[in-house]
Amino acid sequence: MELHVYKNADELSQAVAKWMADDIAATLKRQDRYTIALSGGSTPKLLHKILAAPPYKDQIEWSKLHIFWGDERAVPFEDDRNNAKMAYDTLLNFVPVPPAQIHVMRTDIAPEASAAEYEKILHQYFDATLAGPGSAPAAGSGSHSFDLVLLGMGDDGHTLSLFPGTAAVHEEKAWAIAYFLKAQDMFRITLTKTIVNRSAKVAFLTTGTGKAHALKEVLKGAYNPDLYPSQEIKPIPGELHWFVDEAAAAGLK
């Protein structure tokens, strides 16, 4: 795990944008596509806007990117709470990613059907590079699922739609699931730790004093994923990066 601390959200977002652009360029020298899962929430908005403007808008080979999402709320695309809508409004409407390479988690069908459809898409992309859905790739094999998964973390320590105390935290077989989250009175569609932990790189973006306690518990506390689901994200043999600002890192001192 690598911890990167920046003064504030602006500095963090600029650093992550450069880090991403460099990784995309290096990866595309070895392969012909770059697969990335985007995050919802407020923190990625600034990052998206930086990526959608020069110099990164011009530097990145957007035509070779394949876009996914880590999770979604089962609300219409037109709803401002929809993660895909946020990504289009701040990034995808401004860069030339081919529409066929953008894979939203559908909310115009039943949540369970959406998760099943997403699982099929994931297997079409990644079965050839993984040992299979029942086993993780061997360390050092170079096989992985996503090239990069961007994640956020809630004040309660959740990530994706893996919320404290839910069975979703412990799902090990499926790559995408849907379930009803009573605390929010809505269905959520989410990737599981099983597929995320097979990624080449996972990057958490965490900012603000409200995240300080959860960040301390996730990184330095006792292992208790039922309370802090973000502890379940441990890519092997991939890289885990935490990009945090000073406010979120205050509890780590």
List the domain boundaries for the chain. Answer: 2-252
pLDDT tier, 131 (very low <50, low <70, confident <90, very high otherwise): low
Tell me: pLDDT of 63 over 60: yes
pLDDT given for residue 146 in this prediction = 97
Tell me: pLDDT of 132 over 80: no
Question: What letter does residue 147 receive in the DSSP assignment?
Answer: S
Average pLDDT of the residues in 244-250: 97
pLDDT tier, 138 (very low <50, low <70, confident <90, very high otherwise): very low
Whole-number average pLDDT of the chain: 94
Average pLDDT of the residues in 87-101: 98
Tell me: pLDDT of 133 over 80: no
What are the C-alpha distances in Å from 213 to residues 69, 78, 150, 206, 210?
26, 34, 21, 12, 7
Strand locations in the chain (E): 2-6, 34-38, 65-69, 71-73, 148-152, 176-181, 186-191, 201-206, 239-245
Least confident range of 19-23, 36-40, 125-129, 154-158: 125-129
Question: What letter does residue 136 receive in the DSSP assignment?
Answer: P
- Is residue 249 classed exposed, middle or buried when 0-12, 13-18 and 19+ CB atoms within 10 A define those classes? buried
Tell me: pLDDT of 99 over 70: yes
Residue with tokens 């935490």: 242
Average pLDDT of the residues in 205-221: 97
The tokens describing 238, both together, are 């991939």
Strands ordered across the beta sheet of 176-181: 71-73, 186-191, 176-181
pLDDT tier, 195 (very low <50, low <70, confident <90, very high otherwise): very high
| Percent over 70 (pLDDT), the chain | 95
pLDDT given for residue 246 in this prediction = 97
Average pLDDT of the residues in 6-35: 97
pLDDT given for residue 134 in this prediction = 43
pLDDT given for residue 227 in this prediction = 98
Tell me: pLDDT of 142 over 90: no
Strands ordered across the beta sheet of 2-6: 2-6, 239-245, 201-206, 148-152, 34-38, 65-69
pLDDT tier, 130 (very low <50, low <70, confident <90, very high otherwise): confident
Residue with tokens 């994931």: 122
| Percent over 90 (pLDDT), the chain | 90
What's the CATH code, domain 2-252? 3.40.50.1360
The closest alpha carbon to 39, from 12, 13, 70, belongs to 70
